C-alpha cells in the first residue's frame, strides 16, 4: 500500500476506527499493562538525557511509561481524539515532560537525528507503508539510537497468515497487516538498522483476550462480530493452536502472536 491514495484511505480508516473509541484505549487491559510496559522500558535502559518518540501512541501508555526515565517524550498519533486522551492521561499523572504531535509514521514531522529512542507498540499493523515508516524512524534516530517495536504478528505459514489477517480486518477495517518475523527482519535491515533483539511470544492480556471486549473496544459492526464468532467456532486445529482459542461459555478467549524487536542505528 505504497501509493499516496492508498495511504490516505488507510489514514481515514484509522481515524474513523480510533477517534470515536479513544477513551476505551485508556482502560484497555493489554494496552495499559503496567508490568509489560515496565519490562519494555527496562529493555531499552533509557538515559535521563534521552529524547523519545512514541509513534502511534494511542492513549499514550508507552510514552507515559518512558516519561519518568528520560528528558522528554513526544507522543505522535494520526488521531486528534487519541492525542487529547494522551494529554488527559499525562495531566492525571502530573507528567510535564511529554508533548503531543499529530502525524503519520510514513512522513514524520521531525528533523534528522532528533531522537535517541523511537518506540512503536501495538500500532505498526495499521501503518499504510511499513517499509517507508521504518526508513523514517531510522532517519529521525541519532547515531547509536535504538528502535523498539512490540506488535502482533503472524507465523511463517501462508494459511495461518491469511486467516489471522482476515480476522483482524473483519474486526477493524483500519488493519493493514500483521507481518511475519522474517518480513520484519528484512524490512528493518532494508531501513539500514541492525536487529539487536527479536523475541516471539503472545499478546494475551493476562488470562487470554476476551472476544467480546476485543470487538467492543474498536466498535466492530454486528455483522462482522457474527462472522468472527463463526470463524472462531469453526477454526481449524492449526488456527486454534496459533491463536490459542478457548471457548468460555458463550464467548472465546484467545491470544495473538506477538513480536518484540529492538534495532540500533
60 to 31, 43, 138: CA distances (angstroms):
9, 19, 22
pLDDT band at 215 (very low <50, low <70, confident <90, very high): very high
Mean pLDDT of the chain: 93
User: 39: which residues sit within 8 A by CB, 6+ positions away?
Assistant: none
Overall average pLDDT of the 16-20 stretch: 74
pLDDT in tens, 62-105: 999 999 999 999 999 999 999 999 999 999 999 999 999 999 99
The answer, yes or no, to whether residue 5 has pLDDT greater than 60, is no
Length of the chain: 265
The answer, yes or no, to whether residue 27 has pLDDT greater than 80, is no
Instruction: Please report whether residue 238 resides in a domain.
Output: no
Instruction: Please report whether residue 91 resides in a domain.
Output: yes
Instruction: Please report whether residue 193 resides in a domain.
Output: yes
Q: Are 153 and 243 within 8 A, CB to CB?
A: no
The answer, yes or no, to whether residue 20 has pLDDT greater than 90, is no
The answer, yes or no, to whether residue 1 has pLDDT greater than 50, is no
pLDDT band at 19 (very low <50, low <70, confident <90, very high): low
Instruction: Please report whether residue 251 resides in a domain.
Output: no
Q: Which residues of 102-112 are buried (b: 16+ CB within 10 A; e: fewer)?
A: ebbbbebebee
Overall average pLDDT of the 187-191 stretch: 98
* Structure-model confidence comparison of residues 265 and 21, the more confident one: 265
pLDDT band at 4 (very low <50, low <70, confident <90, very high): very low
Question: Is the sign of the CA dihedral 46, 145, 29, 155 positive or negative?
Answer: negative
Instruction: Please report whether residue 108 resides in a domain.
Output: yes
If one counts the domains in the chain, the total is: 1
Domain carrying residue 102? 4-155+174-204+256-264
pLDDT in tens, 116-132: 999 999 999 999 999 99
User: 99: which residues sit within 8 A by CB, 6+ positions away?
Assistant: 72, 73, 74, 75
User: 30: which residues sit within 8 A by CB, 6+ positions away?
Assistant: 36, 122, 203, 204, 205, 209
Instruction: Please report whether residue 231 resides in a domain.
Output: no
**Helix, strand, coil percentages in the chain from 3-state DSSP, rounded to 5:** 45, 25, 30
HSE toward the beta carbon, residue 63, CA cutoff 13 A: 30
Q: What is the CATH number of the domain that holds 91?
A: 3.40.50.150
The answer, yes or no, to whether residue 160 has pLDDT greater than 90, is yes
pLDDT at 243: 98
Amino acid at each position: 500500500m505504497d501509493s499516496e491514495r492508498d495511504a490516505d484511505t488507510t489514514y481515514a480508516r484509522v481515524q474513523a476506527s480510533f477517534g470515536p473509541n479513544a477513551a476505551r484505549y485508556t482502560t484497555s487491559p493489554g494496552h495499559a499493562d503496567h508490568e509489560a510496559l515496565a519490562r519494555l522500558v527496562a529493555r531499552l535502559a533509557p538515559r535521563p538525557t534521552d529524547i523519545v518518540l512514541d509513534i502511534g501512541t494511542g492513549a499514550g501508555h508507552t510514552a507515559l511509561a518512558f516519561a519518568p526515565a528520560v528528558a522528554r517524550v513526544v507522543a505522535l498519533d494520526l488521531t486528534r481524539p487519541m492525542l487529547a486522551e494522551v494529554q488527559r492521561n499525562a495531566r492525571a499523572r502530573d507528567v510535564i515532560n511529554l508533548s503531543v504531535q499529530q502525524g503519520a509514521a510514513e512522513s514524520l514531522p521531525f528533523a534528522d537525528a532528533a531522537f535517541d529512542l523511537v518506540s512503536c507498540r501495538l500500532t505498526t499493523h495499521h501503518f499504510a507503508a511499513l517499509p517507508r515508516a521504518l526508513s523514517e524512524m531510522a532517519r529521525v534516530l541519532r547515531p547509536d539510537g535504538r528502535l523498539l517495536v512490540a506488535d502482533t504478528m503472524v507465523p511463517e505459514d501462508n494459511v495461518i497468515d491469511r486467516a489471522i489477517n482476515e480476522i483482524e480486518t473483519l474486526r477493524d477495517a483500519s488493519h493493514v497487516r500483521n507481518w511475519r518475523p522474517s518480513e520484519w527482519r528484512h524490512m528493518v535491515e532494508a531501513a539500514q538498522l541492525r536487529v539487536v533483539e527479536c523475541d516471539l511470544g503472545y499478546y494475551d492480556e493476562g488470562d487470554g483476550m476476551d472476544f467480546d471486549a476485543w470487538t467492543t473496544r474498536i466498535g466492530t459492526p454486528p455483522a462482522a462480530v457474527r462472522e468472527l464468532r463463526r470463524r472462531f467456532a469453526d477454526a481449524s486445529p492449526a488456527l486454534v493452536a496459533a491463536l490459542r482459542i478457548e471457548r468460555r461459555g458463550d464467548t472465546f478467549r484467545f491470544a495473538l502472536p506477538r513480536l518484540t524487536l529492538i534495532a540500533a542505528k
